[in-house]
Structure 1
Amino acid sequence: NLKAALNGHSSELRDLRTLAIEHTQNYHGLVAAIYSRLQVGTTPGNPVLVHQWNESQRALELLGNDIANMTSLSNTVTADSAMIGYLLESVSSTYGLSGAIEEDWRNLAILEDDVSKNVIIAERLLGELSDDIQRQNEYIYRQRRELSTVALAIKNGEMYGEHLANLAFKKTEFSQPDYSSSIPSPESKTPLVNIAFADEGTVDYEQDLYKALSTALEKKSDVVFDVVAMSPISGSSATDTLSASKVRKRAEDVFRTMVQMGMPAGKITLSSKKSGDIDGNQVRVYVR
């Protein structure tokens, strides 16, 4: 009975939606716990947060399973819809047969009405499933990118903001970029970020870098970033070569950090330059 089958499919869709809501709430609870700990400050690579991040990944995988189940249900409804279409066509063609009496036509009309109602139910189900699947796919895609930023935040023990690719996407989709705002460019010789590196030790630049990139993306969503390794000219060829090699590695680290924050690698260029106007190694980020 196609009508009973369609009613069963409707019930299954309701169950899948309920399950998806439960999985989403579980995922958000885990991510919220991570953000809360990062907000007040924590140690780099905190094992508790690493465990929660892994749990968040698994929760997101459950949402992926929900999509797979919805897709399977959609395929089943599509098959039923094809059968309904065949029945409707068969009923319509039966009207053209000779030898029927009025009672036969009345029965055919009743059958045609029933089949037509099933067509409406099937089309509605397919439409709802299509919308749900698309919405869930987009959500999971954004959250996977978001988790990559969370992973970097856990690694460094401090919270950043939203995944930069999501920020650029939202700016493009929902508002007009402000092209009138002045953004530094390589031609202006004014870097968006200037990171000075000593020969030894580490430099905590990630938070300032993230803020600068976010600001640039808020002004113009389709910007390209140029990461330039700047090394000084000392007069000694060997010293200059060693210095240039060190700062190139630093620039590569900055490049990787930007990618982890969400910037597509294709939107970042990497180059090196020597200058007599600086005293030490620097990595500069320009925007154009």
Structure 2
Amino acid sequence: MALRNTRAVLLMAAMMALAGCDTIGTPFPSLSGPSSSTYAGSQPPRLGSTYFEPSGVSAGSPTGTYVGQKVVGYRTELTQLQTAIRDQNTQLQTVRNKTIQDSQAYHENVAGMNARLQVGTTPGNPILMNRWEQAQAQLNTINDDIILMNQLAAQISTNSAMANYLLDTVRASFSLSGAVDEDHRQLRVLEDETQQTVVLIERLLNELSQDVARQQQYVSNEKQNLNTLALAIKNGQLYGTSFANRPILGSPQMAAMGYGAGLGAGAATLSPGVGGGQPLVMIRFDRGSVDYETALHEAVNNALIRMPGAGFQVVAVGPAVNAVGQPSNNTAQARLYAERVVRSLQGMGVDPNRVSLAATTSPTVQYPEVHVFVR
């Protein structure tokens, strides 16, 4: 089916086999237009909200014994440790608030660009390009927030080691000679309070580590989305989130669902081992500028909705004869076009490991073509 103004042909006959139907249909969702879910992007992950406040250290009266002197020293160390935890908790709340504000500013910017693309705009709109650069800077700021979180986590890890060492030391002091009953009573109180501090630090460290992990994944996803957004701005059309952020599922059933079946009418005959089955997209480069990326994105999007684990083979198809009707194996120009299509797929977020490139000739084509197959 020829797409208006693009000459990029979406061949849906192969989808008939995928859908397991005997009649021609449209197994994939409609291409009528993007829904809000296709361009909303990933939302910022929810950060932890716990406020970590140590319970304090109980006072104790000096006993005048050697063990009593040890208890005084332990109490001082625990007080210093809890003071450090309070300071680090304050830093954590500050960086959390900053991260939330930075994320909100980033998403407001991206949402504005997506809204403008949804209603339509000119290709390469300079206003959107400037806003895209701003979004990239905003995402870098969020990444800087993650660095602050990692630095804070390293400090808390040091305090965690100190707290566990102090707890072991307090417990070992019960076996020291020369103690009175009051020394052991104060040691028990100190042991409980040190244990509570250890637990508090572990909870603080665990929650912060989860925040860091979620933020890192979020920034990684948004980098992919920005790449796709740049492609959308270049063409002046909304594409949605990057394919790289889709879940990857295994699809051992692909062969059984029709891929690799016989060629449909009108499709170029390819060499053995190249392509096979009906192309998902066929792009004919019969003029200098062919706008194929919108059609390619929609076709790949629908393929991944149906089969999240799908890969793609991009095949350069050159004419089998030259302009004077003589045999020709020259596929260089078609391969250059195919490499351009591969770069487009990668810009949309398709994992490079899920894309392969091949080249062949066909007696049925007059101009260089690029066929994209699902595999």
| Separation (CA, whole Å) in 2 of partners of 1:154 and 1:160 | 9
Comparing 251-260 with 233-242, greater Cα deviation is found at 233-242
Query: Pick from 273, 283, 289: which aligns with 1:195?
Result: 283
SS at match of 1:100: coil
Per the alignment, residue 293 of structure 2 pairs with: 206
| Separation (CA, whole Å) in 2 of partners of 1:19 and 1:183 | 51
Per the alignment, residue 269 of structure 1 pairs with: 356
| Separation (CA, whole Å) in 2 of partners of 1:232 and 1:75 | 61
The structure, 1 or 2, with the larger RCO (C-alpha pairs under 8 Å, 6+ apart) is: 2
Contact 2:82 2:197 in 1 (8 A): yes
CA displacement at 1:237 relative to structure 2: 7.3
Deviations 1:203-240 (A, max 9, x none): 11111111111122222233221111112233647784
Unmatched 5+ stretches in structure 1: none
Unmatched 5+ stretches in structure 2: 1-79, 261-273
Per the alignment, residue 217 of structure 1 pairs with: 304
Instruction: Please show how residues 105-144 of structure 1 align to structure 2 within 5 Å.
Output: 105-144=184-223
Instruction: Please show how residues 24-173 of structure 1 align to structure 2 within 5 Å.
Output: 24-167=103-246, 170-172=247-249
Assess, with a 3 A threshold, how the Cα gap between structure 1 residues 98 and 276 changes in structure 2: closer, same or farther.
same
Contact 2:320 2:329 in 1 (8 A): no
Deviations 1:154-205 (A, max 9, x none): 11111112211112xx253xxx86947846446653111111111x331111
Deviations 1:67-118 (A, max 9, x none): 1111111111111111111111111111001111111111111111221111
| Bigger helix fraction | 1
Contact 1:164 1:261 in 2 (8 A): yes
Comparing 29-38 with 6-15, greater Cα deviation is found at 6-15
Per the alignment, residue 246 of structure 1 pairs with: 333
Per the alignment, residue 46 of structure 2 pairs with: none
Contact 1:177 1:218 in 2 (8 A): no
Query: Pick from 217, 220, 230: which aligns with 2:317?
Result: 230
Assess, with a 3 A threshold, how the Cα gap between structure 1 residues 67 and 183 changes in structure 2: closer, same or farther.
farther
| Separation (CA, whole Å) in 2 of partners of 1:52 and 1:35 | 11
| Separation (CA, whole Å) in 2 of partners of 1:110 and 1:201 | 82
| Separation (CA, whole Å) in 2 of partners of 1:201 and 1:239 | 24
| Separation (CA, whole Å) in 2 of partners of 1:150 and 1:179 | 32
RMSD: 2.1
| Separation (CA, whole Å) in 2 of partners of 1:182 and 1:114 | 63
Assess, with a 3 A threshold, how the Cα gap between structure 1 residues 53 and 137 changes in structure 2: closer, same or farther.
same
Assess, with a 3 A threshold, how the Cα gap between structure 1 residues 239 and 41 changes in structure 2: closer, same or farther.
farther
Aligned length: 281
Between structure 1 and structure 2, the one with the greater Rg is 2
Deviations 1:235-287 (A, max 9, x none): 64778456x33222211111111111111222211121111123332110111
| Separation (CA, whole Å) in 1 of partners of 2:200 and 2:347 | 45
CA displacement at 1:50 relative to structure 2: 1.0
**TM-score normalised according to structure 2 size:** 0.70
